[in-house]
A and B are shown apart, each in its own frame.
Chain A
Amino acid sequence: MDKMNLQKTANEIRKHIVSSLHAAKCGHPGGSLSAADIITYLYYNEMNVDPANPDKMDRDRFVLSKGHVAPALYSALALKGFFPEEELLKLRKTGAMLQGHPDMKHTPGVDMSAGSLGQGVSVAVGMALSAKMSNEDYRVYTLLGDGEIQEGQVWEAAMFAGHRKLDNLVVIVDNNGLQIDGDIDNVCSPYPIADKFKAFNFHVITIDGHDFDAIDAAFNEARETKGMPTAIIAKTVKGKGVSFMENQASWHGAAPNDEQYEVAMADLEKVGEALCQK
């Protein structure tokens, strides 16, 4: 998919995020919107996955370690055809396929149940190790929050991945700078993030996480990197694309009401129209 179509697809995914959270009346828009471009790229340009055969053994794997941004993943999976788009509006409802955090047992295309922060990255490491042990060439991707990396388990996993030289593993940090209680560097600073991963024997690439050229270059660089895992530190904007949500920690875990929903959708429509006129 070219850059223009990636941008358009990401904008559609953002609309689905806003619609599904509005319907659910709760959930996590801020991080879902900041991660939307990365997730779009993964599902449309990077990973070997097949909606018709979601469990095929040679597929690339994605573990959404920051599982609270499930609406971004669900929207990408629905657009790709893993399940009907109508499911998105049942998000978080009793009996729905789409749980508040990813549930591999019920949602086609979800490779691992996750959401308790810090745990998904270890599972991704296990998948990458497994491929190395049996000489399989699938790749493994995991997306972490920048607040999530305050969890010690992330660094246990990073130490192991670096030690085992898992070059089939890409860890992406959605560095939107905000967590529930405020700025990450005020709450308990994880900075310098890049230096930390370097110290754990990762190849580290820092990019603008909303620039598809940069995202494309980073994933290609990761693929060419041998003998060590790659960490992509994606600088992003929490709430990206919705004017009143951008850079607001308060939009970490709150759904838009009817009025806010209209404004948010109008914002995203404008983005979409601008892309069509290019």
Chain B
Amino acid sequence: MDHFPNYWGMPPQESFDRYNIFQDKTKNNAISDPTTNTKQPIVTGTSVIAFKYKDASFGSLARYREVERLYPVGEYTVLASSGDFSDFQYVKHTLDKIMTKEYYTNDGHILGTPHIYEYLSQVMYHRRSKLNPLWNAFVVGGYHNGEGYLGYVNLLGTTFQASTITTGIGMYMASPLLRKAVEGHEDTLTEAEAVDLVEQVMRVLYYRDSQSINRYQRAKITAQGVEISPLLSAPTDWSIGKDLRGYQ
């Protein structure tokens, strides 16, 4: 039954209906309107970069103001997102739910990085197949069975694993830098070198990606678990600017 007397056969009162706490059912009502799906992202974040190095995998990203886009899932996994922020929040919530269920089942089994990655990939592909995508590119990084693990999945459900992964504009600009530094050196790259590499790549992204600001976070995942850094900035040098000619 309809519990709102306003709806009981009253003709619409143009003069006061729009001030009413009850919505006119015939106008702009979430229940009666046709179903709509996301056609474009709204609040977005830019690049994520990630790579493997000696006994760990490593994630990082440029930030959108103070908004965190690195999120730990369980003890050995970090989820990094670029793209729509509300969809990222939804995914965080969903993953938290399944991790909580894992925890209270209490049988010695906890979803590891590959399992979380598979689940997320299935969710992403399923949503694209309903033509109602989660507008993100995700990187899942972690440490599982003595090895670093990195996986990518995006709004189409496209997946791949590699020793270096980037998203967004970073796919154009950071990929070559990372591949050159990391591929073939996954077992020898030290943590200090990895930290330097992140800073170098973040600086390039800040210089060239107009959507970015110079704030990023870095996650490190090792056998000891997840460490997410506080806010970082890459030192930049704009002194060349005064010598530029022709752009006023």
Note whether A and B form a binding pair. Answer: no
Task: Tell me the A residues contacting B by CB distance below 8 Å.
Answer: none
Task: Tell me the B residues contacting A by CB distance below 8 Å.
Answer: none
